[in-house]
Structure 1
């Protein structure tokens, strides 16, 4: 057996495949032109399923049948992407329901944040909007979402991710539930402090209050004090407020130095979170479908059919359009066990043709695709 001759045969076949591929894509271009003229959808799921069944029937063993299925899924995927691109170029993609703005309207704006005075969320709000911003606070994340949904606030500031503890899953779920949209973000460094009523000593403490994520971020320190009971609160600032009001030397809170100052507590230990680079990302949310013209990140979510390779095909829209995907998360889909909704952040602006092209493909091929914001 001559390996060189075998390779020559493969090269010749590959040349034929490339030639046939280009012929097929040219016909796909003509199909796109027809669809543009007639207003037909690009994605015809039943037609593609029939095609897959047909080409699989032409093979002679199970291995080749599976390989041909994967090959033609990719060929048809590339054909769709070409057609989406042509729709974008011809202006047939339709307008996204978001309005581009030069800047956010902050005059007379009212901002809501969850928690109490002294919360990290309040610090993030002041860094983003300025210290003199008109603001008020509510007890829970949901209360903040409701406030902007019903119009009692123009913007809300919400924590969405911590660099060590991960995502705030409740916020992800509510971005789907509410018709509210991300228009900005603020990242602040987190330094947790152990604080208590003035005069308290470490040996007096029996109970520590804080948000679950803050307890998690301080777990190594808390392991050194295993006898302390840990109690979760909705917010760090609520924990500091409770300890301040109770004036009980057996209680302590984990919160920011700002919270200690706000509630007149004494800091017993600084920087008890085990990561010195710990940061939290906060999002700025409004009920308006707007985005800044210089925005650089798009957040979306979608569901996929419960089928092999379905997520892979959705992600290919980013690859084909040269879009850099920088985050993907999943959350369970309510009422459908073991099915998931995917949340993706990628670089781009809603005015970019590549972004429009990718979103058009995702809207046609995914389930319940939603643009969460461009910021």
Structure 2
């Protein structure tokens, strides 16, 4: 029987040979990328641009006036941007697909409550792509009618994520019943429209002024550094030449070691993966689609090498955006 050290030495030799082969492939891929760019060919059907022209852009967001999505929109595009709102996130994606809007702003993840799973699924369903992101600090307030007091409140309305983000505060008031609505600003509007002293909404402080409500409690979120990440989505498959983050998704064969082998493409190409999420695949019990963020640009040789490898080993590889 061979000794342990001898076996380990052989493994190290094989690892080095594998690494050298990957380096050779990376070099060839870099040459291929340079050829494609020189020939004016698109990179994975995406076109690099120096900058985006948002002049006269039509931007859609889900919710009503005062929604956090609207705040993200104004931070990214500017306060004077031509915008309008729709009822659901799907409506926003439909608006871009149907050329009714140029861009949509969608929440994708909260630092306390996690991902907005529906929007991950919509990114797969629609052929739209991410061109940017905007992070908004979330400060939730409890809002009621002008003549209401905290002791009057028996029912609170907000988006399910906001209710989760304020679970500790609500837990201190167990008599208050929680009700889920489609967005926070819409909850504030409901409280104003219903005109009932026993109702309150969890929403941004700005909505108190918009809907003539009273702040009953301020900063009630569990995490004082609570933030939500919004993505900017468009129908055009474009990315800025200085973009440094890539979002992709794919399915893998339902067998042992599939995920490990898939992720090895990032390791051997020295790419930093800073996020991985999974979502169930409809119609395939206990099978999942993976969403991954990596650092890099679609024109990078290492990125090209990794994505080419993934395309061979995965199902339904989709580049969601480079931004």
Q: TM-score higher than 0.5 here?
A: yes
What stretches of structure 2 of length at least 5 have no aligned partner?
37-42
1:1-375 map, 5 Å:
10-11=5-6, 81=22, 84-91=25-32, 95-375=43-323
- Go from structure 1 to structure 2 and tell me whether the alpha carbon gap of 1:116 and 1:80 turns closer, same or farther (over 3 Å shift): farther
Distance 1:247 1:143 in 2: 29
CA 6–150 in structure 1, closer or farther in 2 if over 3 Å, else same: closer
* Bigger share in strand: 2
Give the structure-1-normalised TM-score: 0.80
- The number of equivalent residue pairs is 315
Structure in which a larger fraction of residues adopt helix: 1
Distance between the aligned counterparts of 1:216 and 1:16, measured in 2?
52
Assess if the C-alpha contact under 8 Å between 1:299 and 1:374 holds in 2. yes
Unpaired runs of at least 5, structure 1? 26-74
Q: Is the 1:84–1:360 contact (alpha carbons within 8 Å) kept by the matching residues of 2?
A: no
Cα RMSD (Å): 2.1
TM (norm. structure 2) is: 0.92
The answer on whether the counterparts of 1:84 and 1:361 sit within 8 Å (CA) in structure 2 is no
Q: State the SS of the aligned residue for 1:179.
A: coil
Given that residues 321 and 354 in structure 1 are in contact (C-alpha distance below 8 angstroms), is that contact kept between their aligned partners in structure 2? yes
Task: Tell me the CA shift for residue 205 of structure 1.
Answer: 1.0
Q: Which has the higher contact order (CA 8 A, sep 6+)?
A: 2
Structure possessing the higher radius of gyration over alpha carbons: 1
Determine the structure 1 residue equivalent to 2:39.
none
Partner of 1:91, secondary structure, is: helix
